[in-house]
A and B are shown apart, each in its own frame.
Chain A
């Protein structure tokens, strides 16, 4: 079904191996403003394997995009500081020389941005924007690059790609632009794809198409995808694993089903509860009151404590570490064991089908 599989393929599709492709340890991002540093992301560690799709969810301002950008070295050089390591195929992305980084970007690791209208250069034809990526990383002729770009356009589902090649971004619909973004990101068949809210601006029907596309790519090429979204629904449909971010930290990391069945962190639970489902029963929605604290005014203990209805004195005292939990789960909550939080399934039902977790 996937048109991508017809393309020349450097990476043979592999089954999910256990050798990590990307290994991030202690990622921290700090923004410097007027000589003061403020923390945007801290203590972020995770790893990804080939072909795996990992979701990263959280409210606006929780540090999802910053995490993605940090991996590609796309944060403003002057006003930000990045710590930790992020190894991909032996290279530490965070310590790489600019030239080395340039060679990796768009090649081994690439990124799709949320707003395709602004993310594409408005004054160059879309075809150009794809082929220049190829020409940057591959020694190919102009016409060969053009041919490849046209093929890519076709493979992401743009009809009549050779005609569309000369179109400018504003001449395309939102869904098409997003597909062009994807084509750019895939131009050099990267091993890691960071997708930063690639469907937020799109309609559900178009979103479904894009999600399918990403899933196929991952499957056919073994591309690892880090899927950033604030929409747990989307993540649950696409990803196998999900990380929840709050105020620059990962507060929970588990398999998607586990989280939805029974979230371990009150914040994750709150997020799930706030999603209005198509259940035609008019009732109040649960909400997580308050907002993500600004990086300048973080509480001393658990960062979620001011908004948490389960907070105890202990939560105010210490900043909880990310700790292991059975079934390969990680959580940053000292009360994770005591709480029986509501997920996407009513507790009654959860109890009924309790044992089915896998």
Chain B
């Protein structure tokens, strides 16, 4: 049942990635600045710059550069960082896990807080509890992630000492430490996400709880708790959709959050690379991020079909 979806999606992935990398390539070319200047630094001379450009292949025409990049890609070679020569693949390998860890933590936190708040608000719709929850949650949306992040650091790391203030690592390297490090950045991103999810959950739950099928469940004599679970399954599609869409903003937010927490992840990598015009790294990160997004979208799609039999 899921095989065909996966195949269909995979078919769409390759053109998407190609367009994505082309777009990035063009985009990066438009960014002013020259990696040779970064490399040469304070000892730059025109000859020096020329030599560096030559050695990095930056003197080739754009289509040639893109073509070279593509052909190497086909051979599994993502190139090397222009700045420090690190193979892009190894840069991605060491950062992807870290970012995935905090992004996954953020999603988890967002889902747990968001669902709980949304359900509570929906069950007390328009009551005091609802208003309180809604207001709190809206505040979450209204604060920039790095702002929340910093406050979390000051309170929970520097103040209470519960979590480390900086750093991060991949879950697969050391699960316990990784999670300790992931909690605060996860919260910083997740609170914003939780607000969205709570909003969506509240709306969907109110609708689901007023559905005719809930009335049937009541007429059957089911307990309220059982009914809430059933309603939740009914409104899982919009919630999943939102959660899936959020992944994108989490990946974007890592750029900022990783700076606040000094986390060696994809966000920091691409931020630096953008500032230094390190094309191969930018290309690589975008490719990985796009892949993550596409994979998660696929998972969401599959989840749709599991939770809602009406879809296809």
* A→B interface (CB under 8 Å): 69, 72, 74, 102-107, 110-111, 113, 115, 118-124, 129, 132-133, 136-137, 168, 170-171, 181, 184-185, 187
Closest to B213 in A: A121
Residue in A103, A121, A171, A187 whose beta carbon sits within 8 Å of that of B234 in the complex: A121
Closest to B236 in A: A123
Which residues on B sit within 8 Å (CB–CB) of A115?
212
Render B206-222 as a binary contact track against A, CB cut-off 8 A, 1 for contact: 00000111011111111
Is B84 positioned at the interface, with any CB of A under 8 Å from its CB? no
Is B310 positioned at the interface, with any CB of A under 8 Å from its CB? yes
B211 nearest CB across to chain A (Å): 7
Q: Are A105 and B219 in contact (CB under 8 A)?
A: yes
Most B CB contacts (10 A, CB to CB) among A107, A118, A123, A133 go to A123
- Contacts A123-B234, A123-B307, A123-B308; is A110 near B220 (CB within 8 Å)? yes
Is B309 positioned at the interface, with any CB of A under 8 Å from its CB? yes
Q: Are A168 and B215 in contact (CB under 8 A)?
A: no
Q: Are B216 and A120 in contact (CB under 8 A)?
A: yes
Is B94 positioned at the interface, with any CB of A under 8 Å from its CB? no
Which residues on A sit within 8 Å (CB–CB) of B219?
72, 74, 105-106, 110-111, 113, 185
Q: Are A133 and B212 in contact (CB under 8 A)?
A: no
Q: Are A106 and B215 in contact (CB under 8 A)?
A: no
Q: Are A121 and B216 in contact (CB under 8 A)?
A: yes
Q: Are B216 and A122 in contact (CB under 8 A)?
A: no
Q: Are B216 and A136 in contact (CB under 8 A)?
A: no
- Contacts A122-B234, A170-B309; is A103 near B221 (CB within 8 Å)? yes
How far does the alpha carbon of A106 sit from the alpha carbon of B51 in the complex, in Å?
Answer: 84
Is B131 positioned at the interface, with any CB of A under 8 Å from its CB? no
Which residues on B sit within 8 Å (CB–CB) of A110?
219-220
Interface residues of B in 157-172 (CB under 8 A from A): none
The 3 tightest CB contacts between A and B, nearest first, are A106-B221, A106-B220, A105-B221
- Contacts A102-B223, A136-B222; is A113 near B230 (CB within 8 Å)? no
Residue in B211, B220, B308, B310 whose beta carbon sits within 8 Å of that of A132 in the complex: B220
Which residues on A sit within 8 Å (CB–CB) of B308?
122-123
Closest to B211 in A: A118
Which residues on B sit within 8 Å (CB–CB) of A69?
215
Residue in A118, A168, A185 whose beta carbon sits within 8 Å of that of B310 in the complex: A168
Interface size on B, residues (CB 8 A): 20
Residue in B212, B221, B222, B230 whose beta carbon sits within 8 Å of that of A119 in the complex: B212
Closest to A107 in B: B221
Q: Are B217 and A121 in contact (CB under 8 A)?
A: yes
Closest to A118 in B: B212
Which residues on B sit within 8 Å (CB–CB) of A111?
219
Closest to B237 in A: A123
- Contacts A118-B212, A170-B309, A184-B216; is A136 near B221 (CB within 8 Å)? yes
How far does the alpha carbon of A170 sit from the alpha carbon of B217 in the complex, in Å?
Answer: 17
Given contacts A102-B223, A123-B234, A123-B307, 20 further A-B pairs with CB under 8 A are A69-B215, A74-B218, A102-B221, A103-B221, A105-B220, A106-B220, A107-B221, A113-B219, A119-B215, A122-B234, A123-B230, A123-B309, A136-B222, A136-B223, A137-B221, A168-B309, A170-B309, A171-B309, A184-B220, A185-B219
Which residues on B sit within 8 Å (CB–CB) of A124?
230, 233
Which residues on A sit within 8 Å (CB–CB) of B216?
113, 119-121, 129, 181, 184
Render B286-312 as a binary contact track against A, CB cut-off 8 A, 1 for contact: 000000000000000000000111100
Which residues on A sit within 8 Å (CB–CB) of B226?
132
B286 nearest CB across to chain A (Å): 37
How far does the alpha carbon of A110 sit from the alpha carbon of B220 in the complex, in Å?
Answer: 7
- Contacts A121-B213, A168-B310, A170-B310; is A133 near B220 (CB within 8 Å)? yes
Which residues on B sit within 8 Å (CB–CB) of A187?
220
How far does the alpha carbon of A136 sit from the alpha carbon of B234 in the complex, in Å?
Answer: 20
Render B101-116 as a binary contact track against A, CB cut-off 8 A, 1 for contact: 0000000000000000
How far does the alpha carbon of A105 sit from the alpha carbon of B309 in the complex, in Å?
Answer: 28
Most A CB contacts (10 A, CB to CB) among B215, B216, B309, B310 go to B216
